[in-house]
Amino acid sequence: MDMLNDPALDAFQAEVRAFLESALPDDLHGAASRATSVFIDPAVTLPWQRILNARGWAAPDWPAEFGGPGWDEMQRYIFAAECARAGAPGLAPMGLKMVAPVIMHYGTAEQRAHYLPRILSGEDYWCQGFSEPGAGSDLAALQLRAIADGDDYVLNGSKIWTTHAHFANRMFALVRTSSQGKPQAGISFLLLDMASPGITIEPILTLAGDHEFNQIFFDDVRVPQANRLGGENEGWSVAKHLLTFERGGRYAPSLIERLERLRTPPISDPVLRARIDREAINLTALQALELKAMRGVGSNPALYASALKILGTETAQRIDVLACEMAGHDAWAEADGQTAPGVAVAVPRYLNDRAASIYAGSNEIQRDLIARLILG
């Protein structure tokens, strides 16, 4: 973070670095470099979340009134960069970074008081119920029915690609409460208990062999209408608010660290060195755009969110290719405990990141959104 040139931020950076050096357990140090996905097993992330929560740092983006540290954008960015530098595991984003902001914005006082402390502590672990077998990038086509019955909705249908549903005790979901008018007009946003009778979870293994995704089946599942966020049939607006947080982000800090690890040991091949240098230049530009977005310079958040999602995920995929090429045959061999950590994760990370340009709205869709925002 050589762009600081601010004594107060320098002092904050030193505070964060000292905390990480003293508080990050040895068994979690470097966990990020061993991860093959942004979604790390909660057996790793939740102990670290509890340590951060005790310091008041589990939710860097949250305002102080809801239990966050109340940091400004530069402090959040510094914190992300220092966590990446230390190799700290990233926390599960579905609760802290995705549903929490919409609960703050759309939730009732009772919903905020109930859910937000439980998200901070990790007591509630969330999954996202958006995509369906016939509704992925075209999310407005979703068909999971929610029929009002007394004080409840009764849900029937399915969700797919549901990350970490097998760990989660809570889900935020988009459901169809009306078939009248435009498809987007009949969608509602619900918070539900994964222990509800009638929910079945079936695993989906990834190309990398990980059990990260699931398909969820709902058979007459009852969800209290009090668990709705926003008005009935107004869930599309809630979802758009949430997707701004899912698509945007701080890609550069972790990617810079990942790229730097490829330089160790020094590389003799001039072509590989040139390709790594090219990605370093791309990351410098990406970091500059992220800093510009933080400061709200020149455009609206949705435009930045789409642009950063494209640039961040596609840069990650190019770095994955480099890592596999540099590891050579060893990257494709079965890990035997003797393989260097960077080599052992190269191919699983490459395979997992193939999905990064698809989830949260495919990059093709993001380019369409940018065109509409700029060209009308």
Q: Do 274 and 358 share a domain, yes or no?
A: yes
Catalytic center residues? 246
Q: Do 69 and 185 share a domain, yes or no?
A: no
pLDDT at 337 over 50: no
- Whether 100 maps to a domain, the answer reads no
Per the CB < 8 A criterion, the answer to whether 13 and 96 are in contact is no
Last residue of a domain, one of 91, 109, 139: 91
Distance CA 129, CA 363 (A): 20
- Give residue 335's pLDDT band: very low, low, confident or very high (50, 70, 90): very low
Helix/strand/coil (H, E, C) string of 276-319? HHHHHHHHHHHHHHHHHHHCCCCCCHHHHHHHHHHHHHHHHHHH
Distance CA 299, CA 309 (A): 16
CATH number at residue 303: 1.20.140.10
Q: Which of 71-80, 107-116, 240-249, 294-303 has the highest mean pLDDT?
A: 107-116
- Give residue 50's pLDDT band: very low, low, confident or very high (50, 70, 90): very high
Distance CA 30, CA 197 (A): 40
Q: Do 81 and 146 share a domain, yes or no?
A: no
- Whether 338 maps to a domain, the answer reads yes
Last residue of a domain, one of 233, 266, 285: 233
| Amino acid at the residue 89 | P
- Whether 114 maps to a domain, the answer reads no
Helix, strand, coil distribution of the chain in percent, nearest 5: 50, 15, 35
- Whether 39 maps to a domain, the answer reads yes
Per the CB < 8 A criterion, the answer to whether 235 and 91 are in contact is no
Q: Name the token pair of 219.
A: 């058979």
CATH number at residue 210: 2.40.110.10
Position 333 scores a pLDDT of 64
Position 336 scores a pLDDT of 46
Position 92 scores a pLDDT of 94
The answer to which of 248-252, 293-297, 340-344 has the lowest mean pLDDT is 340-344
Query: How high is the mean pLDDT of the chain?
Result: 91
Q: Do 32 and 136 share a domain, yes or no?
A: no
Q: Do 277 and 338 share a domain, yes or no?
A: yes
pLDDT at 299 over 70: no
Non-local (6+) Cβ contacts of 363 within 8 A are: 309, 310, 313, 314, 357
Strand partners, 146: 155
- Whether 99 maps to a domain, the answer reads no
Q: Do 303 and 354 share a domain, yes or no?
A: yes
pLDDT exceeding 70 applies to what percent of the chain? 93
Strand partners, 175: 188
| Amino acid at the residue 51 | I
Sign of CA dihedral 139, 191, 41, 21: positive
Q: Do 164 and 139 share a domain, yes or no?
A: yes
Position 248 scores a pLDDT of 59
pLDDT at 208 over 90: no
Distance CA 147, CA 316 (A): 42
- Give residue 292's pLDDT band: very low, low, confident or very high (50, 70, 90): confident
Q: Do 153 and 185 share a domain, yes or no?
A: yes
Position 236 scores a pLDDT of 94
Q: Do 155 and 82 share a domain, yes or no?
A: no
Q: Is the full-model pTM beyond 0.85?
A: yes
Q: Do 273 and 215 share a domain, yes or no?
A: no
Distance CA 116, CA 98 (A): 12
pLDDT at 222 over 90: yes
Range of the domain at 271: 248-375
- Which residue's entry shows tokens 């495919």? 362
pLDDT one-digit tens code per residue, 122-158: 999 999 999 999 898 788 999 999 999 999 999 999 9
- Whether 263 maps to a domain, the answer reads yes
Q: Do 76 and 152 share a domain, yes or no?
A: no
